[in-house]
Amino acid sequence: MKVEQNISRLEYLLALYNITPDSLLTMVNEGHKKPITKEDIFTKNIHLDHLMRVDKFFDKGYNYYISPGYAECTRESSIFFRKSKFGCELNFGAKRVVNYFEEFKTSLATIAEHADLRLKRTLPIYNLQHNPRAVAQQLRKSLAPNLDISPKKLLNIFIDKLAVHNILVFEFLEAWNKKQKANIDGFFLEPNVLVVKKLPTASNKQIFVLIHELGHYLLNEEEVEQLDVENIINSQLTPIERWCNDFAYYFLSTEYDRLIEGINFDSDNDYHPLTRFYLSKHCYK
């Protein structure tokens, strides 16, 4: 059975995920004896089973490819067109997660507009000249005045407090047997969406990631990134990443930050934020 597809939508997905037609063919043909050709996919009338093989990777649904609307590669349509470089090399799974929440964000914005609901920003926009310690101490009073509770409860209360300020927080969960797991821990999408990976057995790290992404929101600097041990040790932190790390640290360490700062760490080496991360974790266990 053949169906009429809107090829421009497939071309949009290739641009969105930054993959070539040949790379798509390689992905589609993996594990199949009879290869599919470029002419089989990039044609107005496509076999339904070929289309389903393509959608196995993009997960957009049958109707997406046959809809007449033209998808434009604009800055407004995706962070992948607003930024050319991210905190880590995003794999295909990560791009799928980001794209899902970007489209979800757009849907929510449309619903809010029809409902005449304006999610105005209530927190100011900061910059790198602002002291992350001062900002953290100021915002902690209203967003998380009590850190001496279980990480799970703290996470729930903190998300609720952010919602009061029109900041939407979403979680994504990676199944243990998923083949294309996203290699990211969290991201911030303008104007008010924070997304973090749900970590049932590592709530402390999830809290740190969420506050780090809140730092990006405060600076109004979008980012998609991985905040694991290897990434922190082997990467040269940008001024923005260092500010967000410092903000998260001061937010969580409370009165312990003075004690920790008294330890003789070299603030110019890559081990400094990692060490502070582990020390600050234990301050609110």
Amino acid code (one letter) for 34: K
H helices of the chain, in order, are 7-17, 21-29, 38-41, 48-58, 62-66, 79-82, 92-114, 132-143, 151-164, 203-219, 229-234, 239-253, 257-261, 271-283
Given CA atoms 49, 50, 53, 54 in this order, what sign does their dihedral have?
Answer: negative
Distance CA 9, CA 25 (A): 16
User: pTM above the 0.85 mark?
Assistant: no
Please provide residue 163's backbone torsions phi and psi, each rounded to the nearest 5 degrees: -60, -35
- Which mean pLDDT values do the consecutive 10-residue runs of the chain (285 residues) have? 90 93 90 85 91 91 88 87 87 92 88 78 96 93 84 89 94 80 92 91 83 96 76 65 89 68 52 45 41
For the chain, the domains span 2-73, 113-283
pLDDT digits (tens, 9 = 90+) for 172-194: 988 777 777 888 999 999 999 99
Considering only the top CATH level, what class is 2-73?
Answer: mainly alpha
The predicted-structure confidence for 201-226, as pLDDT tens digits, reads as follows 767 888 889 999 999 999 999 999 88
